Chain A
Amino acid sequence: MNYLFSHAARVAALSLEHLELVAVSLAAAAVVAIPLGLWASRQRRVAPWLLGVLGAIYTIPSLALLAVLVELFGLGFTPIFAALVVYAQFMLARNVVAGINAVDPAQVDAARGLGMSPLQVLLRVEFPQALPILIGGVRVAAIALISIATLGGYVGGVGLGVLIFNGLTLHQPQMIVAGSLAACLLAIAADASLRFVERRAAA
């Protein structure tokens, strides 16, 4: 624990960097996953295939995927960013499909029948109704990404993984503990705050 206290500023700075990495990746992942999930929820036959493929990608060990991405992009921010965007797809797209499919069909029928355009039905009825499930997906993805993002210390020198991998190289267990503990706390905090938002959205 000594390292954590003696280098509190550094741990805090790396935590912030870690959080930024996860937030940026999640946002980028959502930009891809929301249209993908919508498409799959509209085309019933697409959904099992899409989620199957994304699920298969999700099972690729993260170190193996990163090795490929480093080959493609070189070391730095890009490979870990790309890995996180890819991993988040499954969790986000799955919840978009589940969320949209869970919307009360009567509300969609009424919305169409009263004269909402397809876009208005989506934005004014389907998305608000699906919101708690969508946020649930974001929460699960955020927790997973916070953990996977520690590999960013290995391939890009970003985030709390820096402490963990430097600690491994330098045989400094205190650094490893500090990095891991901070990542855990981030995950717990993300879970609690998104759970709060999820409940507010469901009310």
Chain B
Amino acid sequence: MTPATIVFDGVVVRYPNSDRNAVDGVSLELGGGELVVILGPSGCGKSTLLRTVNRLVNLDAGRVLLDGSDVTQLDTVQLRRGIGYVIQAIGLFGHMSVAQNIGVVPSLLGWKPAEIARRVDELLELVGLDPARYRDRRPSQLSGGEAQRIGVARAIAARPRALLMDEPFGAVDVVARTSLQRELIRIVRELTTTTLFVTHDVDEAFRLADRIVVMRSGRIEQAAPPLELFDNPATEYVRDLTHAGDDVYRRYFLHTRDQLRSSAQ
């Protein structure tokens, strides 16, 4: 299986009763299993852009292509089942066990129960939770960090070729956050998936990204690998955001990035 390619082509989204475009003409290509982080302040349109891929948000102009096919031409439900989706509020189903939560997409796809059970245990191992202790728990019996591990496991259960993560670690505490970031680095290395990750946290973006897309007011300011943002900021906004030119920041970002990546082996 090969990772998906996602192409945004002149994407415009305007919400009803709004006097400006939430996403204002964004073009971007990603694929080949890279982890692309969209970085920007709240209200910059980054979540909206992400949600156009699985059609939770409709376009007013432009196109979104998944593996070359216009997403509006695909069956919405089938499209979504093929794309992993993780959100800040996690949204584990409260009336289901951990195992049922993780198995939800495989069961929608009609996998056999034994196959789902095997996959659930495999995923619990992958996200660092003991299957015997966790599979029968309820979401209410989990910490925030544990719950989002399950959220990630649920999103990748059916081996999606594209993964959308909307501020996934924004609501968990700092310790859990760092360990989740480490797990994510490890997981995306093992998966064959192209990942689009939204955050407002500069630190997080630098730690995780193969490429960072800085957004502001619905537009892309710059899309580049982390270090290039530092060394060649395209706009004043990017310069301020990354503290470009400040060598202390540069070393700090590089250090935390390397540390996270080496500990994720």
Tell me how many residues of B have a C-beta within 8 Å of chain A.
Answer: 25
In the assembled complex, the CB of B65 is this many whole angstroms from the nearest CB of chain A, namely: 19
Q: Which residues of A68-112 have CB atoms within 8 Å of chain B's CB atoms?
A: 104-112
Q: Which residues of A lie under 8 Å from residue B142 when comparing CB positions?
A: none
Does A114 lie at the interface of the complex (its beta carbon under 8 Å from any beta carbon of B)? yes
- Write the nearest CB–CB distance from B141 to chain A, whole angstroms: 12
Q: Are B154 and A114 closer than 8 Å at their CB atoms?
A: yes
**Which of A113, A116, A120, A124 sits near B87, CB closer than 8 Å?**
A113
> Which of B80, B85, B95: most chain A CB closer than 10 A?
B95
Per-residue interface assignment for chain B, residues 191 to 218, with 1 indicating a CB less than 8 Å from any chain A CB and 0 otherwise: 0000000000000000000000000000
**Interface flag for A156 (CB, 8 Å):** no
Q: Does A32 contact B (CB under 8 A)?
A: no
Are the C-beta atoms of B93 and A125 separated by less than 8 Å? yes
> Does A115 sit within 8 A of B, measured CB to CB?
yes
Interface residues of B in 80-95 (CB under 8 A from A): 80-83, 85, 87, 89-95
A112 engages B94 (CB within 8 Å)? no
Q: Which residues from chain B contact A157 at a C-beta distance below 8 Å?
A: none
Residues of the A chain whose Cβ atoms lie less than 8 Å from the Cβ of B95: 128-129, 131
Chain A 150-186 per-residue mask, 1 if CB under 8 angstroms from chain B, else 0:
0000000000000000000000000000000000000
Q: Which chain A residues border B155 with CB–CB below 8 Å? A: 114
* Nearest B residue (CB) for A128: B95
**Contact mask B146-163 → A, CB, 8 Å, 1/0?**
000001001100000000
| Overall SS of chain B's interface | mixed
Nearest B residue to A112 by beta-carbon distance? B56
A112 to B92, CA, bound (A): 12
* B108 contacts A110, C-beta separation under 8 Å: no
Q: Does B54 have its Cβ within 8 Å of any Cβ on chain A? A: yes
Q: Which residues in window 90-137 of B have CB below 8 A to A? A: 90-95, 104-105, 108
- Determine if B87 and A115 form an interchain contact, defined as CB atoms under 8 angstroms apart: no
* A residues near B248, Cβ cutoff 8 Å: none
Which residues in A have their C-beta under 8 angstroms from that of B105?
114-115
How far is the CB of B121 from the nearest CB of chain A, in Å?
Answer: 20
The answer to whether A107 touches B77 (Cβ under 8 A) is no
By the criterion CB–CB under 8 Å, are B87 and A109 in contact? Answer: yes
Are A115 and B56 in contact, CB atoms less than 8 angstroms apart? no
Residues of B within 8 A of A114 (CB): 80-81, 85, 104-105, 108, 154-155
On whether the beta carbons of A115 and B80 are closer than 8 Å, the reply is: yes
B78 touches A115 (CB 8 A): yes
Is B77 within 8 A of A115, CB to CB?
Answer: yes
Give Cα A108–Cα B94 distance, bound, in whole angstroms: 11
A106 touches B87 (CB 8 A): yes
Chain A, Cβ-Cβ closest to B164: A113
Check B91 against A115 for contact (C-beta < 8 Å). no
Select A120's contact among B78, B82, B92, B108, beta carbons within 8 Å: B108
Chain B, Cβ-Cβ closest to A105: B89
- Tell me, in angstroms, the Cα distance from A114 to B79 when the chains sit together: 9
The winner among B90, B93, B164 for most chain A CB atoms within 10 A is: B93
**A58 → chain B, closest Cβ, in Å?**
31
CB atoms of B94 and A104 under 8 A apart: yes
Q: How far is the CB of B153 from chain A (nearest CB, A)?
A: 12
Partner of B89, one of A106, A111, A115, A117: A106
Query: Whose C-beta in chain A lies nearest to the C-beta of B104?
Result: A114
> How far does the alpha carbon of A28 sit from the alpha carbon of B56 in the complex, in Å?
36
A106 vs B101: C-alpha distance in the bound complex, in angstroms? 14
CA distance A105 to B80 in the complex (A): 18
Residues of B within 8 A of A108 (CB): 91
Contact of B92 among A107, A116, A117, A131 (CB under 8 A): A107
Q: Which 7 A-B pairs have the closest CB atoms?
A: A110-B91, A106-B89, A115-B81, A106-B91, A115-B80, A113-B85, A128-B95
Query: Can you spell out 8 A-B residue pairs with CB atoms less than 8 angstroms apart?
Result: A106-B91, A109-B89, A110-B87, A110-B90, A114-B104, A115-B77, A128-B95, A129-B95
| B residues with CB within 8 A of A | 54, 56, 77-83, 85, 87, 89-95, 104-105, 108, 151, 154-155, 164
